Amino acid sequence: MSAVPAVPARPEGRAATAAGPTVPGPSPADASGRALPETGAARSAGGPPSPRGSVRDALSVNLNRRRLARGWSLRELSAATGISKGLLSQIERAEANPTLDILSRIAGVLETDPVALLRRPLLEPEIVRARDLTEPDDETAVNLLFSAHGHGRVEIYRSRLHPHAQSQVSSHGAGSVEYVMVVSGQVSLVVDGVAHRLETGDSARFDGRASHFYTTEDCPATTHSIVGFPMD
């Protein structure tokens, strides 16, 4: 994780505004390149933001969660960052694109990095089907399944499930992400009560904080999984 540069103190009474170069807003797409639904109407100011698809929506959700985790009001975050309460409120409602300077200052106060603030939350498992992977005629085929940034500790597992088995129900804590590939057999990945059937060669990643487990039917299965934890 790259360090956020220190920001000089701003003279009293001069709160930051949204002028200047803004954080780029690419066309919404998920990790596999599929287009995501367009963002709907602006959210009401009365409730927490709902995760959607765009970079601005991701910033909205992440800023709100990290601020509330510290027990801060918008006024307190404004005092700590030197950024106006009005602009912070607009960012949390996904109604403003902050400048890179403002984003860095928010990240510094919240003890994170700008990339983490812009990362889209995993609302449901992202699945890569083996049948969708390209298989060139060359002797070696390499496919990028997922890319990730900002992980700290990583744990790697090999799991063997007997027929009609269920793994232990797990949850790895806030900020964790689990990646799994089915090496042989078929499994059902159950995340927050929703089952996702994975065949041999299929891969998935999902929010490790969510309650999850694996089940098999008539055949045994082997999976390899990686759990990435946030930086300390």
Q: What is the pLDDT of residue 137?
A: 67
| Strand stretches in 41-192, DSSP E | 126-128, 151-161, 177-184, 187-191
Q: How far apart are CA 15 and CA 78, in angstroms?
A: 8
Check residue 150 and give its pLDDT: 61
- What does residue 69 show for φ and ψ, rounded to 5 degrees? -60, -30
pLDDT of residue 232: 62
Q: Give the model's pLDDT for residue 149.
A: 64
pTM score, two decimals?
0.53
180-189 b/e with 16+ CB inside 10 Å = b?
A: bbbeebbbeb
Strands 187-191 vs 212-215: parallel, antiparallel or unpaired: antiparallel
- Pairing type for strands 212-215 and 203-207 reads unpaired
Below-70 pLDDT ranges, the chain: 1-53, 121-123, 136-141, 149-151, 232
Q: What is the pLDDT of residues 118-131, one digit of tens each?
A: 877 666 788 888 88
Contact 206, 126 (CB under 8 A): yes
Among 214, 26, 14, smallest CA distance to 120 is for 26
Please give the domain boundaries of the chain with CATH numbers for all domains: 1-121 (1.10.260.40), 126-230 (2.60.120.10)
Which residue reads 């918008």 in tokens?
74
What was the pLDDT predicted at 215? 96
Do the beta carbons of residue 64 and residue 49 sit within 8 Å?
Answer: yes
Task: Please tell me the predicted confidence (pLDDT) of residue 194.
Answer: 93
